[in-house]
Amino acid sequence: MRTDFDVIIIGGGVTGLGTARDCSLRGLKTLVVERGDIAQGASGRNHGLLHSGARYAVTDKDSAAECIRENRILRRVASNCVEPTEGLFITLPEDDLSYQKTFIESCRAAGIDASAIDPSEALKMEPSVNKDIIGAVKVPDASVDPFRLCAANALDAKIHGAEIRTYTQVTSFIIESGKVVGVRLRDTRSGQETEARATITVNAAGIWGQKIAAMAGANIAMYPAKGALLIFAHRVNRMVINRCRKPANADILVPGDVVCVVGTTSDRVPMEECDNMHVTAEEVNLLLQEGCKLAPSLASTRVLRAYAGVRPLVASDSDPSGRSISRGIVLLDHETRDGIGGFISITGGKLTSYRLMGEMATDLVCRKLNVSKKCSTASQPLPGSENEDVNCKGMAQKAARGRQGTLISKMDFEAKSELICECEHVTRAEVEYAVKNLGVTNLEDLRRRTRIGMGTCQGSFCIKKAAAVLAELLGHPEMAPILIREYVAERWKGMAPVCWGESLREAEFMRKTFKDEL
């Protein structure tokens, strides 16, 4: 099987999907291939911070300036994915208070509105913050749902003609006369092999971009920096809380939906371990110890799970932790750099700067294809983020409105009001919409699109029902037990490192609940 496109994008993370959206909006015939599900890599394994750029203002002014510009854009065009929490940078007695002056000056130089406030005022704004603070700075941080953001970009790309193939792996490149003209693909579920050809191929595979580039005969020296994080069962803070010091371990607490996330660590790991990240007991202890300095109530808040992602940094041998490596965007034209035509790579950057990365990559694609249409992603809202009023009746519709935005107008809540997930108020109407429109094929996909199973019970009370409904919608009712086994195995990876106290009781309850399926 063979299909022809203008551009093939490798990677279904936020950068690849943002590039696909931009390409499709400019009229290019676009294909995205992703070996797993969308947002399954670093795009779905972060703390969900929409950076103001303040964290990088002292050490990386250019990245800080990029972040604040994109922060303002995403608040407009991705409003359904963003919660404008604002943020605090706090100074504790063990920190150097003089750093605050340097921090504020650096923020303002990068265009970031940062202002010192009295610690007593900070405590009124954020009651959960450590009461021992000796300094505080207010910045325009926000939280962003990365799954929602990726799904919205994928949906808009599809609406404008793009094809998105998940669970499809690139096995090799088709190279003719020194030019990449296509890719050979394998469906990771069925094993079916296909070919797809395009004038331009874009490598947007994050940390795995090094391997993709090598398959084409190019070299990108990536730096795999693992970051571990913890999710707490309740949202203890209203605002993003940061430590006002040079970036270090566990110095940020981000609220999102009904939970909060503390992170991150930063340690270099071997490239071969990037596919199988585990959080260690030492990392959990470090995150808890330092996180409680930000918000002491975390000490008595149940930990839901631990997880880790790998930052797509470009290597620097002088920094073993990766913290001083620039978070700037790296766009490589392999034709001019390596003599390989039809092939470009886009990497580096941050979740906050994904749209700009997509614009830069698409600009280069268009120049090579002699397409003159300009980028519109900075002004055109994502699906669900349109400025429209949608009438919501009841808790379930309001919850769905928070996740899907204006797209809930396409869901039949009247006829399909059956509640599937009580923690997150997910109904059959939302599940059916996700299956039909958002590329859901298993329970993990469904979790990323609807937050089903992400609440306090972590799926213990809803997954059997969800599996039955999903299997029915997929046309294979007999698949329900398989869907459950896959889901529980994946959930267990994040629960195992935090199994003590309430978390251990929850894990034991889940094991007993699903003993027949396991």
277 versus 3: the higher-pLDDT residue is 277
323: pLDDT strictly greater than 60: no
Confidence of residue 111 (pLDDT cuts 50, 70, 90): very high
- The confidence band for 158, taking pLDDT boundaries of 50, 70 and 90, is very high
Q: What is the pTM of this model?
A: 0.93
Q: Minimum mean pLDDT among 131-135, 325-329, 369-373: which range? A: 325-329
Q: In the structure, what pLDDT confidence band is assigned to residue 285 with cuts at 50, 70 and 90?
A: very high
Architecture of domain 2-42+147-221+327-369: 3-Layer(bba) Sandwich (3.50)
Instruction: Determine contact, residues 378/256, Cβ cutoff 8 Å.
Output: no
Residues in the chain: 518
Question: 365 near 16, Cβ under 8 Å?
Answer: no
Residue 216's φ and ψ, nearest 5 degrees, are -95, -5
Name the nearest CA neighbour of 380 among 27, 29, 78.
Answer: 78
pLDDT at 78 (0 to 100): 97
Tokens of 215: 């398959």
Average pLDDT of the residues of the chain: 92
CATH number attached to the domain at 82-143+225-305: 3.30.9.10
Distance, CA of 252 to CA of 261 (rounded, Å)? 8
Band (pLDDT 50/70/90 cuts) for residue 317 is very low
Task: Quote the pLDDT of residue 455.
Answer: 82
Contact 343, 201 (CB under 8 A): yes
What are the boundaries of each domain within the chain? 2-42+147-221+327-369, 82-143+225-305, 394-513
Mean pLDDT (whole number) for 66-73: 97
pLDDT reported for residue 391: 80
Q: Give me the pLDDT at residue 503, please.
A: 77
Categorize the per-residue pLDDT at 371 as very low, low, confident or very high, splitting at 50, 70 and 90. very high
Q: CB within 8 A of 193, min separation 6: which ones?
A: 171, 184, 185, 186, 187
User: Quick one: tokens of 128?
Assistant: 């959960």
Q: Pick from 381, 221, 248, 403: which is nearest to 316 by CA?
A: 221
Q: What is the C-alpha separation between 129 and 253, in angstroms, rounded?
A: 10
The pLDDT, as a whole number, for residue 354 is: 97
Structure tokens at 222: 């990536």
Distance CA 348, CA 365 (A): 18
Q: Residues 165-169: what's their mean pLDDT?
A: 97
Give pLDDT tens digits for 251-266: 999 999 889 999 889 9
Q: Per residue in 202-232, pLDDT tens?
A: 999 999 999 999 999 999 988 899 999 999 9
* Model confidence band, residue 353 (pLDDT cutoffs 50, 70, 90): very high
DSSP 188: T
142 burial level (CB within 10 Å; 0-12, 13-18, 19+) = buried
Residue type, 109: A
Q: What is the DSSP string of 82-104?
A: EE---EEEEE-TTS-TTHHHHHH
Q: Is residue 44's pLDDT more than 70?
A: yes
Average pLDDT over residues 443-471: 91
Residue 2 predicted with pLDDT over 70: no
Query: Under the phi-then-psi rule, with left for phi > 0, alpha for psi from -120 to 50, and beta for the rest, what region is 322?
Result: left
Confidence of residue 320 (pLDDT cuts 50, 70, 90): very low
Q: Which residue has the higher pLDDT, 385 or 498?
A: 385
* Average pLDDT rounded to a whole number, residues 143-166: 97
Q: What DSSP state is assigned to residue 341?
A: B
Indicate whether 316 pLDDT > 70: no
Residue 360 pLDDT > 90: yes
